[in-house]
Structures are given as C-alpha cells and as structure tokens.
Structure 1
C-alpha cells in the first residue's frame, strides 16, 4: 500500500490572503494561505503543478526550455506555478491589501450587487428625453395638434349655462350633513302651508322674501307723516306686475304668502295704521302691542328704538329710528316658487325706479331679497371675466421682461409669450372637455384659470432655464431632448403637487368643490 501524505491546510499560525486574478471571464478572487515567517511558505492547495507529461523526441533534455533544473544547495529557487501567470500592471484596485488590514476569510465573491437609486428618475428622464426628441424632429405636429384639439374641445362652452340658477344651500353646505337630516325630520312632523296658514317661525327653510329697511332722517319715524311716506312705498311695491312671455302677468297678490284670506302684512304696525289712520303712534307698547284685541308682535320690525316705562304687556316705545318691511312669498309649490322668483327679479330691477318716482324725502330705503346672494355670486362671473384679460396681459409682460436678454441668441421673449398662450389653451381645453361630459359649472370655478396660469408659467421658466444649459453646437432635436430630460423631474413634481391639491378639494364634502351635479327638486 502506497502512503499518501495529506494535503496541508491552514494551521493555527497561518493567515489567509485574498488575491485578485484577471481571467477571460472577469476578475476572480482566490484564497492563499500564508504561514508565519518562521514556518516558510507553501503553495495553496489546488494550485500544485500537475505531473509532467512524457518527454517528446527532440533535442536533449538539458537543452530544452522544460529541462529539469539541478537540485542541491546550488540549485536556483524553483519557480512556482503562479509565476507562469502573465504579469499585469497593478491598478489601484489590484494592489494587495496591507498586512494590518487583511480581511477575514470569506467566500469567493464573483459578482458585486449595486443598489440603483434612480429607479424613478432614470425612466422618467428617458421618457421625457424621447418626447423632446420627437418635438424637435416634428415641430409642426406638436404646434398644430394642440390648436386643433383646443378648437374642438372649446366648443363645450356652448353648453355653459347662462340663466341657470344655483342653489347656494346645496353648493356651500356639506353633503350628508346631520343638520339636513334633522331638518327633514322637522319638515315631516311640522308641516307648513304658505297659501293659507303661513308662519315664519315654523319655516325650517328660507322662504322667498323681499326685505326693505326704512331709516328715518329724523330722530324717530313714529309720526303720521313718515308713516304716510312708508305706506306710499309699500303700495308701490305691492303694485308691481311681471309680464310673462305668454302675455299674462304675475301680481304680488298671486304669489304672496297668506294667512287665511289675506297676504301676510310686511309690518304689523304699519298694517294697523293703514287700517286705522287715527292710531296714536306715541302710545305703542313694545315688544307686544294689543290692537283691537289682537296682539301684534313687533320684535324684529323696529330698530334703534328707545323704550320708556311699562305699558300693558310691554314698555312704551318712545322712539324708533328704523323699520323693516318683510314681503313673504310662496315657496313650497314648485310653480309658485318659480313665479315668486320671477317677481323678486322684477322687484330688484324696478326698485331704483320706484325710489326715483316716489321722491322720498323723510326716509332712506335699502333692500335685500332671498335671491340677492345668489345674484351677487352670478354677477361675479361678469366681473371676473374682464380680469382675465388684465391678468394675462400682466403675466405676459412679466414673462417677457424676465426672459429678455440683450443677446439675440439668449433672448427668449417669444418663448415666454407662447408659454402664457399655452396655459390659456390648456384652460380652454380643460373647461370645454368638462362641459362636454356634463360637469356642471359652479361660479367659484371661475377663479381656477388664475391658478392654472401660475402653474403653467412656472413650468415654462423651468424649461427655459434648462434650454440655456444646452450646447449651441447641438441640433434642435438633441437640445430639445436634453431640455425635456433635465426638466422632467421638476415638471413632474409640480404637476403631482397640483393634482394632490385639487384632489384634496374633490375629497371635501362641499359640493361646489366636488363638481358634482346638483340634485333636481321634485
């Protein structure tokens, strides 16, 4: 039996050393065992020279290059197999690690895993770079296509409602509010009848009304001359008639809220004086006045009053600076509700003429109706639209001034002007598309073009700044691709920010921000 000597392994005094070798497949790392200086060195396992093949015929063995070297004390040191490896110039990464920084033994590492942090920026920049290249290669397509698209979508403004009335309660109160549910409960148990038994205190919703606030030029209006002038004003208001398209007329007596057979008086004390002109206005008790066995509640009908001593169920009303006239109209029935609103609209149109015709000398009159808030909101669109022209002119001037350069090459005034025009086209296209698909137009949305204009101008300045950083020697396609690539992240961030801002408004419970259709009343 032949004795086989076991292969030496790394002993307790050996050190492992990592050596990098270049091969055809790439850099590889090998482990070498390094003994202490007193023990000498041994070649690592697995790298010993293989057995010599049989000597071929030819020159004597002593003259061949592979002839065995003499052994003995005079023999030169035997070359190692590792010496046959072609020597390569060592780079910084190929230099052996110093002794004091020798790493611990580790497995063979053939691949390095790297963490890519541009997983979003890289694809985004490449997509924008491709888009910029296409814009530079086909400029007329990207110039004419937006104009044609804007012209097509802009036809949606034909569906813009002009005379449609907005319900402010539906638009500016939360959807699904508990107050609305409680009001429905009250309406189901405490009904009202505007045509026979009207009571303002039983109303759970706002009724159609017209309110006149009469203020006396003197210290008090509790005198017959002032009451005569107020009575003249009351008669002129009740004589208003609205001419309809079919030739009929709407009179106040047809649409007024009634208590039994009579219209609800606009002011109980004024009505009592009109019935009895001999009524002593200097002996009126407040807040309750007993007239012919019927108590009159004057609370809310007089202002700036001064009270005296006790009188009956109240106190003596010495002076009153102002008086209010309330004209309640029918609201419950849809047909009467529409007629009441037509009468109120006519009242608002003719009220100035009424004051001029009466030539009031003792009193000053101001008016307010249940439609006043709504009409003021609708009038906002008329006042805002002229502001669009001024806003666009100012922003164009600012953009042109900011991009003006004395160098004709770096001057970008035309680019700035077209950037503002591009934002205008976006506003027309977006609004036209929403009107085409039936989204109702809410008057508060009239302010959004200013926000869209600001966002569009910001992106324009970002792209102009990126254009100034491109090389003049490059062609248009390459410069456009570089501009879009550099501005990709900035434009995306600003766009996402604005989308989130508008989405926050959509999540609101207010209908005017949600852009939801208004429920139809039955």
Structure 2
C-alpha cells in the first residue's frame, strides 16, 4: 500500500486530553506546510498497522516500549482492524475475488444433493428413554436396522362394510399378492416380502383364516378341515381351544344379535381391515430392501384399479419420501421470493443512490451483487454439506429463505456506508472507511447468529441439529462473501473522481435532505424525551404481559397430521390410523431382557404379577387380549402332560419346565410365538429374553399417551430383576413432547448467555450490553408468546423457529446499541473529514438513526418479502417459519428503532462512556504511560468513528 495514500486527511474537532470523546468545540485549523521548509524539519509520521499512526521518534525510543505497547493496546479496536481489512480489499481486490471464486467452487457438490428426513425418531432427543427402548427392541430382534412396519389399510370404496363376499375375496387376493408376488429391485436384485419377513411372514394369517373359514361356512364347504368359531373380537379353533385374535386386523366392527346370522359369525359389518407387514432385518442390506419394497407397495397401491376397495399404505419410508417430495415443491416459491426480494433491493438501492447522487450502471451491478452474496452462501453450504456427506432434510430447505433475508442485511449496511463516502479519495482509503463503519456491527450480528444456530446444532435431536448446523454454516458463508466478494465489487463500482463533489446541495435533493434531517431531528427529540420513555414503558408492560401469558400457555403438542403435506396421499391412512385403529387397538410391547427361570415358583408369580398390573390399568382391553407366550405355554404344557407318560420329565417347584418348549414353538398354530422369544437351548435357562404384548384402547389424545407411557415405565421399575423395558410405537413421539419445554428453555438460556458474551466482546460498554441483551430477550419472549396466540404449539418445528428468532433479534439490537455508544463520528466538510464529538442523547440518536434506520428497515422488509410466498403452500412447516419471521421483524423493528433508543437516551452519558477494554489497559501507572497516551490521543481518536452525511 502506498504510504502517502494510507494517511487520511483528518481534522480534529476539538483539542485536549478528554478521552471520553467530549472534546472542546474550538476547531483547530490545519497548518499549511511550507514547501520551502527543510525536509528534516517536517514531522515524520509512520502509518502503523491497524490504521494507527505513531511518531517514529517515539517508536525508536527504548525507554517508551512498554508505555507504547500499553497505549497501542488501548487504541486497538475492531474498527481499526476492519479499517485495515477494508484497505487490504481496496489494494488487492482481484486477489479477494479469486478467493471468493475458489470458495464458491464447493457449490458443485449440489449435484450429489440427496434429501433425507427421519420423521420417526429424528426429533427425539438422543438421551430420551424412548431412544434407549427402541435400541433395546432392535437388539431383541437382532436387527440390522430400525424396526419397520408397513401398514396396508383396506376400506370399501362405497363406504360400506368390508364384510361382503366380493370385498373379502379381494382382501385375500391383495394380502396374498403383497406377501408372495409383489417384487421390487434393490441393488439390481429382485426382492419380495418373503426375502426378509422371517418369523413375521404369517402375521396376517388371522385375516386369511377368517376369510377361508367364513367362505367355507357360507358355501357349506366341508373341505375346510378345522372347525373355527368366527366370533369377534377373538375367534377360536374349536378342536384345540386356540384363540385367533381378530381385534388387531378388523376395525369399526359392529356385532349382531341375530341368532341366525350368528351361526356363521357375530360380525355384522367391518369398516376397515388392516394388514401388517414386518421384517426381520438381520442381514446387511435388509433395511434397504424393506424400504425399497415398502415404496413398491405404496406405488402399486396408488396405481391399482378396483371398483370395490381402496388400498391405502403407510410406513416410515413412505412418510419420509412424501415429506421430501413436498419439500421439493418449495423451489418455485423460493424463486418467487428471490425475484420479489431482488426487485425490492434494486428499488431501495436505486432510491439511496439517487439521493446520494451516486446513481450509475455500477449501482445497478451493486444491487444485483448484494443478492448474489446470499445465493452463493446457500449454494456453497449445500454443496459442502453434500460433499462431506452431511444429511440434508426438509427443515434445511427452509434455510435458503432465511439466508436470502438475513444474509442480505450485511449488504444493505455496507451499501449504505459506501454510498455516503467521499468519491474523490484513494479507493483503498474509501474501502477502509466503509468496513471501519460496518465491520464491527455486522461481525457482532453474524457471530451471534452463528452461535445461536450452533447451540441449536448441539441439541440432542438430529433433525433440528441438521437444520441449525447448516444454517450456521450458511450465515458464516454469507459474512465471508460480504468481505471477499462484495467488498471488491464495491471497489470496482466506486467512481474514480479526482475532485470533491458536494452532494445533496441543490434541487430536490436539498429539499429531501432537509426534510429527512428535520424528521430525524424531531424524531430524536421525541424519542429521547422522558415522557415518551414513560409511555413506551407502560405500553411495554402490556406487551410483556401478553407475551409471558402466551409463553406460559403454549402447549407441548405433536400433531403428525399438521406436519404432513396437505395434498399428500398419506393423509388419509394417517387419519384412519389415528381415528379408528389406535382408539380400538393400541399395542404395548414389554421386553424382559434378563433370563428368568420359570421353574421357580417365585419367578413365575412375579412374571404373572407384572401381567396383572398392566392388565388392571385404565384403557387395558383385558387379560384375554394379551399376547403372552408364557400363558399359552402353560396351557400347552399342562394339556400335553396329561397324555405324556414319560416318567423322566423334570419335576419343578412351579410344575413348569422347558422340556416341551421346542414342540410348543414348532406347533402349527403357536409358531407365531417364535418372534416373542430369544432361545438358546444350550444354556440352563433357554429363554434368554422374551416379549409380551398388552392391548389398550380409547387412547386418543397425546396427553393420555404421555400419562400411560410414564405409568408403564413406573411399573417396570418395580421389577428390577427382570431388566424390562417397554416399546411403544409412538414412544419416540411421546418423548419428543415431554422433552420439548425443557429443551427449549435450556437452548434459549444458553443462547441468551452467548448473546450477552458476544455483545460484551464487541460493544464493550456494560450498560449497552445489558440493554441489548434485555431487548433480545424481550423480542424472543414476544415471538414465542404471540405465536401461541397465532394457534401454534410447541413442537420440534416451532423449536427450530424459536432458536432462529433469537438469532435474528440480534440484528435489530446490536446495530443500534453499537452506534449509540460511540462518542464521536466523522463528517465530511469541504472535501475534508472532520472528527466531531457526539455530546448529548439527541446527537447520538440522530447519528444512530442516520447510520442504521434505513438499512435495518430494508433488511426487515426484505426478509419478510423473501419468505412470504411460502404462505401459498399452506403447509405447516413453512407457515411456522413465515409467522415466526414476521413476528421477529415486527418486534425487532419496534425494539431497535423505538424502544431501545428511548431507553438508551435515558442513560447518563458517563455510563455509556465506560469502555471495559480501554479501562483494562488504564490500570497501569499514569506516570508510565501518560505521555504516550496524550501523544496518541492528539493523533487518533480512541473510539471507533462513523461517517455521517
């Protein structure tokens, strides 16, 4: 950098050693240099890095090294660092552009972009009991993947009963086809259900048995060998008195009292028949095979034509795919939002350039590039995440809307500062002034936003963590591109004038300038008045009352129907499961993980005591609906022992042994219990683990499910010797709801603490930090509270939105507090920069409003405009973010431009003059550093300076 260009022409508006910035009002004219004066008599000034100038004579004096170091540290500030960065950008713009292009090359990773949601357990904390229970169940099944269930629901097209011959024949055909013939391909190999069903291949045997027996009785067919009493809910094999549970497959059943009809069955009508397909995922690749097979069943069911029944399919993989498909529909809405925001940015930048008399084709390029910055941040982030194999879910597709809104904020501030600079200086100096003004504030807001989302990424819920981590990376990328891409663009777009141009002095610009100046002056006087502060405080009490009330009343609730897209075909089967299936039959699986010797009378009594406790609970359907291998084995053992004359049979305390267990599990009717036991006959206690299934009903609300899950777990705690755990199909969702409020409070508290630390690091005035932190908390509280009045519940989606709102609220508070606590600013007078003090609250407010009010308003409006098109989707997840961002912008602008300035204006000036960093280096002896400090104070002001028109 050229040394002569690096020394800005600055006049000090006041003299003396007043380090608070309140210098005297007498202006010291600049001394004219006599070109005839001998060269050696001229003061030699060295341009120190970080933009600080020190006398070389003092720098050479060994006795002053310590004092100069302390004085230099006292002078060091973020503004000086960013002045150096700006001058570096202005000196080597091409190098920065090349580095931006290199960084942007990560966007090519978007070619490998693959969306993947984990709706089933992706929103459940890793530390939850349900996660442990699901993992235990997985170990019990000895499965290579998570337990999966494909549910096939069959209903009559005319809304009538499925209890009609033609309908039952089609049900039988459908189940047989899906079980035996439906084929898909996985890794270029054909896959059928028989390839991975294992012990579950005959899970739908009760339905087929009922249909065969029913048709035989209707036709008086004697070829059906087994006599079955077709009673609902439990049919029976008459010969062996073996129950056949129909309540797990037939729903919406009406029974008849007509004795003639009851000769065949007591069923009068059936609304829905459910066929369940499970898999034993014991081999590598079984998980992928079942997922591919489930999607094939879903595709086949949607394409099949029938005049009798509708076949509806739902499963975990289907839900994930449908949500991802809906997420991809957001692409055109992103385009609408981007176009709307681009037009808004261009029009506002055009107006600003016109006002500052800087309108040219270069300004149009600047407006365009201000929107390119967040786009490049988005593509680079998604590309990098794809390259490194990070999962990308639907929530992360909300990120582009946030970055387009939030990421352009830095560009607005930078453009606003750039337009107000002198256009006759060396461009490196101009860029240094631009980033000296905006660098600290955009760094503060970016860092707080990034920290907010990184805290969210640490939450023990994978789907929220993916969203927060990706958003944090994108925000950091947007900040980097603002420096290394947008900065050089501003350099090339700057006019190369050699003479000073006085702007806003003639015609309509002068009038507009005067009107705006008068409006700002009046606004500053009104806001700074004590009566205004009292009125605003009274209004804020009302705002806080409803915000706190709404926050307390917000419910932790998970409604899967809301999360599903409106137009997805799986809404109907999901509704049928929630409204018909689960209210009539809600299974609970209990897994006993320790070997329990049933030959001991005490052990057997303990096991049956646990049975009784579950069966006597509210909503339990009764003892006869429990699937207990032990009860069935006891009946089998006693029945078989009557005809067993083997005197060598083992005599036990409980009159029960394992001697007939092999025959029991191989019995044609009872072989279904093979999947209920984990047996090793080489060990003294062959049954190493076993499971039981209890049936419940009328569990409709999530509150009832939460209560029952907690009661189930409490029962098992009283049987520690069994090491038993539960497995509930909705347990993961239950724990999501239970953990939402504690997780939200924990995340919010940690986020606010980090906000305070970051603000303290950059603003350095304790009063300003306290007010900024309070404003952040107030905005976040208002957002959460008023979301509850907007009919939103606390769920994993709204949790992510709340974390986002905390980060966004910083943008509306940090800029205001940072600029208000400055003690002086630079103005351009007659082509020269003069440093003027900010003496009173009105001056500080006017300076703050001129610096941030317009770009803050631009940023807020552009954020809302960008995300507003998502309203057209009318899906729950996009609407949560639209409502949240709208509230954040409304409350943020109110706090940043009205409430916070009014509070700051009531703070005594001496409190705002405290600088923690500077005071740290003033603890030394005044005798040691006083002389050097005074010398440096006459050269460079000790606080950050901000240009003002």
**Normalised-by-shorter TM-score class:** 0.5 to 0.7
2:312 corresponds to 1:366: yes
User: Separation in 2 of the partners of 1:418 and 1:396?
Assistant: 10
Shift of 1:192: 4.7
User: Separation in 2 of the partners of 1:240 and 1:465?
Assistant: 64
2:244 corresponds to 1:296: yes
**CA spacing shift, 1:161–1:457, aligned 2, 3 Å:** closer
**CA spacing shift, 1:274–1:336, aligned 2, 3 Å:** farther
Instruction: Assess if the C-alpha contact under 8 Å between 1:209 and 1:329 holds in 2.
Output: no
Instruction: Name which of 250, 256, 264 aligns with 2:191.
Output: 250
Equivalent positions of 1:98-497 (< 5 A) are 123-151=77-105, 153-157=106-110, 160=112, 162=114, 168=119, 171-184=122-135, 191-192=140-141, 206-238=147-179, 239-243=181-185, 249-258=190-199, 263-266=201-204, 268-274=206-212, 277-279=215-217, 284-292=230-238, 293-309=241-257, 316-353=266-303, 355-356=304-305, 360-380=306-326, 382-405=328-351, 407=354, 409-410=358-359, 412-497=363-448
User: Separation in 2 of the partners of 1:504 and 1:465?
Assistant: 32
Deviations 1:356-414 (A, max 9, x none): 2xxx2222232212311222244355334454434333322221122223836246432
**CA spacing shift, 1:192–1:455, aligned 2, 3 Å:** closer
Match of 1:68 in 2: none
**CA spacing shift, 1:425–1:187, aligned 2, 3 Å:** closer
- TM-score w.r.t. the length of structure 2 is 0.36
User: Separation in 2 of the partners of 1:338 and 1:457?
Assistant: 42
Shift of 1:418: 0.2
Match of 2:12 in 1: none
Instruction: Assess if the C-alpha contact under 8 Å between 1:267 and 1:326 holds in 2.
Output: no
Deviations 1:310-346 (A, max 9, x none): 999xx94332222222223333443444433332232
**CA spacing shift, 1:439–1:361, aligned 2, 3 Å:** closer
Instruction: Assess if the C-alpha contact under 8 Å between 2:113 and 2:382 holds in 1.
Output: no
Aligned length: 379
Deviations 1:199-257 (A, max 9, x none): xxxxx9633424233235153221212212322333443321234666x5323333334
Shift of 1:508: 0.7
Match of 2:460 in 1: 509
Instruction: Assess if the C-alpha contact under 8 Å between 2:138 and 2:146 holds in 1.
Output: no
User: Separation in 2 of the partners of 1:427 and 1:483?
Assistant: 25
**CA spacing shift, 1:478–1:205, aligned 2, 3 Å:** closer
User: Separation in 1 of the partners of 2:277 and 2:202?
Assistant: 8
Instruction: Assess if the C-alpha contact under 8 Å between 1:269 and 1:298 holds in 2.
Output: yes
- SS of 1:209's equivalent in the other structure is strand
Which consecutive unaligned segments of at least 5 residues does structure 1 have? 1-25, 28-91, 93-115, 195-203, 518-522
Shift of 1:515: 4.6
Shift of 1:505: 0.7
Larger radius of gyration between Structure 1 and Structure 2: 1
User: Separation in 2 of the partners of 1:218 and 1:433?
Assistant: 51
Superposed CA RMSD: 3.9
Instruction: Assess if the C-alpha contact under 8 Å between 1:227 and 1:270 holds in 2.
Output: no
